[in-house]
């Protein structure tokens, strides 16, 4: 079932717009976020002393290699700062930011609407639940139907009493191994997708099998896989064969860690993951293009830390527009290919069916 007034349109925090109005789009970001659930306590005694210090010059060097071991670094809470940061994306020609925040990530509905009005940027807001460790265990008793009902209301009526509506089911959080509540959350996403025609974004568990395991749950539940995107491909699926396995299901592969290079911090229960650099990301996207899956690629930065902001010496929301696109062009990707990745693919994915 679809929602007639949303078919062919993308739903922003200021209301539906034609999909063609999305323009250059960052498919996976966080404009305001409480990422406390991502915090991992340092093991070394001296590092424990840095864990609760505010982000400032004396810890910036350490945070380059320990971004998730400092609480303040994981909180993007200052509305004025974040407004200034996203304006740099607009100045670089950007039009739309997809804020993947939902329950568990401190979603701030009213602030997103204010930032959208001030900046003139389209902001698409998420719905549903993040990973189990980010949630109050009281929600674990909710049924699939109850979770799906909440998502449908976010999309059709608005979040709470705000009247501000979500335009995305996601990022639906999964861990490794997948928590029982997270399985219900995935099933609820499929049910809500059927009722609304909305796209689904999945945050896979930190394991190479995380994406395909979640994909099989969605597939078995009858999801429209052409309306599903898997986040953090560059931080999960490090083989071409693994990426092809997902692509053959018809889903979108999201390279959303542009700017983030080097090792990925090891979380409890996770295996070490070596992140590619931006050039390698481009080559992997070129491999997908050559395999016939250009129309299944989305890109972004997934800014979740203060150290990724320009104010703190990071690359910011304009990094792809200002630096990655020129690298793509120099490495043989045409302007038409770049526009497909940054404009056409997001238009197709975020427009309701």
Rounded-to-integer distance, Cα 13 and Cα 117, Å: 9
DSSP per position, 234-283: GGT--SHHHHHHHHTTT-EEEE--TT--EEEPPPTT---EEE--HHHHHH
- Close Cβ partners of 10 (under 8 Å, ≥ 6 residues apart): 16, 17, 18, 19, 21, 22, 96, 122, 124, 167, 347, 350, 351, 352
β-sheet bridge partners, residue 263: 274
Rounded-to-integer distance, Cα 193 and Cα 190, Å: 5
The domain ranges of the chain are 4-350
Q: Are 169 and 201 in contact (CB under 8 A)?
A: yes
Q: Are 201 and 100 in contact (CB under 8 A)?
A: yes
Secondary structure of residue 186 in the 3-state scheme: helix
Q: Are 12 and 122 in contact (CB under 8 A)?
A: yes
Per CATH, domain 4-350 is 3.20.20.140: yes
Q: What does R_g of the chain's alpha carbons equal in angstroms?
A: 19
DSSP per position, 115-160: HHHHH--EEEE-BSB--GGGS-GGGGG--HHHHHHHHHHHHHT-ST
> What pLDDT was estimated at residue 271?
67
| Sign of the Cα pseudo-torsion (343, 344, 345, 348, in order) | positive
> What pLDDT was estimated at residue 91?
98
Rounded-to-integer distance, Cα 168 and Cα 241, Å: 28
Mean pLDDT by 10 residues, the chain (353 residues): 90 98 98 95 92 95 92 98 98 98 98 98 98 98 98 98 98 97 98 98 95 98 98 96 98 97 63 86 98 98 97 97 98 98 98 97
> What pLDDT was estimated at residue 266?
57
Nearest to 42 by CA among 263, 268, 306: 268
Nearest to 111 by CA among 87, 84, 82: 82
Taking the whole predicted model, whether its pTM rises above 0.75 is answered as yes
Secondary structure of residue 93 in the 3-state scheme: coil
- Give pLDDT tens digits for 37-56: 999 999 899 999 999 999 99
> What pLDDT was estimated at residue 199?
98
**HSE-CB for 303 with a 13 A CA cutoff:** 28
Rounded-to-integer distance, Cα 183 and Cα 173, Å: 10
> What pLDDT was estimated at residue 274?
81
Buried b (16+ CB within 10 A) or exposed e, 165-195: bbbbbbbbbbbbebbebbebbbbbbbbbbbb
């Amino acid at each position: 079932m679809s929602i007639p007034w949303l078919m062919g349109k993308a739903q922003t925090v200021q209301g539906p717009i034609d999909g063609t109005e999305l323009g250059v789009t960052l498919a996976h970001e966080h404009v305001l976020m409480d990422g406390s659930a991502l915090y991992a306590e340092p093991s070394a005694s001296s590092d424990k002393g840095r864990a609760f210090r505010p982000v400032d010059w004396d810890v910036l060097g350490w945070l380059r290699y320990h971004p998730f071991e400092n609480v303040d670094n994981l909180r993007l809470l200052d509305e004025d700062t974040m407004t200034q940061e996203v304006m740099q994306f607009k100045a670089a020609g950007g039009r739309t930011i997809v804020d993947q925040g939902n329950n568990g990530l401190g979603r701030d509905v009213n602030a997103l609407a204010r930032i959208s009005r001030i900046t003139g940027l389209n902001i698409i807001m998420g719905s549903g639940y993040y990973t189990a460790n980010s949630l109050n265990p009281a929600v674990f008793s909710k049924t699939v139907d109850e979770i799906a009902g909440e998502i449908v209301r976010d999309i059709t009526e608005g979040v709470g009493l705000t009247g501000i509506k979500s335009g995305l089911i996601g990022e639906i959080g999964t861990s490794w191994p997948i928590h029982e509540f997270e399985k219900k959350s995935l099933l609820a996403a499929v049910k809500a997708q059927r009722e609304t025609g909305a796209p689904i974004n999945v945050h896979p568990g930190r394991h190479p099998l995380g994406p395909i395991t979640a994909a099989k749950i969605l597939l078995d539940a009858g999801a429209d896989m052409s309306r599903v995107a898997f986040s953090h491909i560059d931080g999960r699926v490090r083989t071409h064969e693994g990426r092809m396995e997902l692509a053959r299901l018809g889903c979108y592969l999201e390279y959303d860690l542009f700017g983030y290079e080097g090792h990925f911090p090891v979380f409890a229960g996770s295996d070490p993951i070596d992140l590619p650099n931006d050039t390698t990301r481009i080559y992997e996207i070129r491999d997908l293009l050559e395999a016939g899956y250009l129309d299944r690629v989305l890109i972004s930065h997934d800014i979740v830390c203060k150290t990724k902001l320009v104010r703190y010496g990071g690359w910011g929301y304009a990094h792809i527009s200002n630096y990655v696109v020129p690298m793509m062009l120099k490495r043989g990707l045409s302007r038409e290919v770049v526009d497909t990745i940054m404009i056409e693919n997001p238009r197709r994915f975020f427009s309701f069916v």
